[in-house]
Each structure stands twice: as structure tokens, then as C-alpha cells.
Amino acid sequence: MASLRKISLLTLTILTMTLMSACGGQGDNKGADSKSGDGKKVIKAGTSVLFEAPLKAAKEDFEKISGYELEIKVFDDAVATDIALAEGDIDVNFYQHEPYLNAFNESRGTNLVRYGKKVLASDYGLYSSKIKSLDELKDGFTMSIPNDASNRGIALKFLQDQGFIKIKENVKFPTLVDIIENKRDIKFVEMDRLSLVKSLEEVDICAMPSIYMFQSGKDPKSAIVSGYDSDELAIIITLTEDNKNVEWAKHLEEALTNENSRKFIQETYKGAVKPLF
């Protein structure tokens, strides 16, 4: 009997140690608790090719003031960037404006949030490889615009400001069916925003942010008409609701909005993008 009791106690001890070890192992694999080869905690940041440069420029300052390492992942697809954040594959993203964020949350039922200051904004304009003046446009001309809810809405509001169309009032994300006046009989061609520059070969004119032209190696200041009196194009830091009070987010905001970042934006984009701080 004594031998059986010893065996039972030994078995219980082994099971207890195994369970404790398993629980400890699970606690080491959460989001920003991942570590680099030198033992530093890693913050994973998602972005697009359009806004990779400012994030890279802020990386060194962020790492100095925070003690974290910043790992930057560039996504080809805007939706995938927000999905990755919502699912915890990345800790933060920096690539979108607030209307896009709001549209994503509304369509996906997510609760991603803006953090801190608006960092930078692109100019907006009408571009063409076929004409030099709006006077050259004949009724029924073709115009390319973005096909996602927020950027399409921004394009239509810009066109209304320029007197091309009128859209219904109080529509959060206007679409083509919300156009109530189109006197020039504009033929709209909707497409992915990253295809807009290429569309200049096919359409008469295109409505888009100037950073798209810059990124494609074309002159962002060549717009026939430019200027959008709105902060809707401001690029923001985005977090999950659960992470909105984390300390490292404050350090990332500081790095993206300090004097080094201001100088980088002004010298790199030469007016196509402006700092908002």
C-alpha cells in the first residue's frame, strides 16, 4: 500500500509540473511580447508601399525612446492590413485615413481605433496624360476614380467642390448612385486605387491623391486642378481598442511627429505630401 501511495504522489507531482509548464508557455506568446534575436521586444507595424518610407524614417527614433524593436511589414492589399491588425498578426498599422478606417469597421464589424495626432496628408487633384486644361474636355469624357467606399466618396466630394457634379446631402460614403447632377455626362470608371496612375493611359482624366503620382515616378505637381480643403486624407496611426493605451504607441507617435520626421517628409515628397504637426 505504501508503494502505491508513493507512485500516486509521484504521478500527481509530474502532472502538476506539466500543467504549470504548459500554462507558463502559453503566457509567453502574446502580440508585442515576441522578441528579436537580441532579446528586445518587437512591435510589428503594417503599412503600404505608399507610406513605408515615413515609417522607416521614424524607426530609429522609436527604438531609441521606447526600447522596442520596430518590425515593418508592407502589405499589397489595404484590406489585408486592417485584417492583420484586427486578428493580432500585427500590433499597429500606419497607412490609412480615418474615412477608410471607419468604412472598414462598418463593413467588417471590427473596432479598430485611431491613435493620437494626424501625421501627414497628400494633396489631391485631377491628372491627365491627354489634356493640359479643363477647357479641352468634351462632354461625355471618361474619368477614373477609386472603387473603395471611402476613397470613392472623397473623389466625389472633391468633384462636387470643383463644380463637376452634385451629390445627395448627408451621405456618409457617397457612390455613383448618389450623384443627382452630372451636367457634363461624365463616364466614371471605378478601379483599385493603386491602378489609377496606370489608368491615365486609357481615360481622359483621373481624380486621385498626389502621392500616387509621386510613388509612380510621375510629377505630383502636374495636376490640372488640385487642392482639397479637408483633413479626410490625413494618415493616422491605427490600433485595436484593447491596445489604445499602450505606452509604446505614444513613443511611435512621438517618432512619427518629431522634427526629424518633419524634415524627412518635406525633403522626400517635395510638396506632394505635407506634415500635419
Q: Residue ranges per domain, the chain? A: 42-123+232-275, 124-227
Cα separation, 173 vs 242, whole angstroms: 27
* 42-123+232-275 and 124-227 share one fold: yes
Query: Closest Cα partner for 243 from 233, 252, 235, 255?
Result: 252
Q: Considering only the top CATH level, what class is 42-123+232-275? A: alpha beta
User: Which CATH number is associated with domain 124-227?
Assistant: 3.40.190.10
Query: Closest Cα partner for 227 from 124, 121, 120, 122?
Result: 124
Give the model confidence (pLDDT) of 116-164 as tens digits: 999 999 999 999 999 999 999 999 999 999 999 999 999 999 999 999 9
Question: What is the per-residue burial (b if ≥16 Cβ within 10 Å, else e) of 217-247?
Answer: eeebeebbbeebeeebbbbbbbbbeebeebe
| Ranges under pLDDT 70 in the chain | 1-40, 229
What was the pLDDT predicted at 231? 83
Q: How many CB atoms lie within 10 A of CB 204?
A: 20
Q: What are phi and psi of 98, to 5 degrees?
A: -65, -40
Cα separation, 254 vs 54, whole angstroms: 13
Cα separation, 271 vs 42, whole angstroms: 33
What was the pLDDT predicted at 35? 65
The model carries a pTM of: 0.83
> Which grid cell sits at 10?
509521484
What was the pLDDT predicted at 43? 98
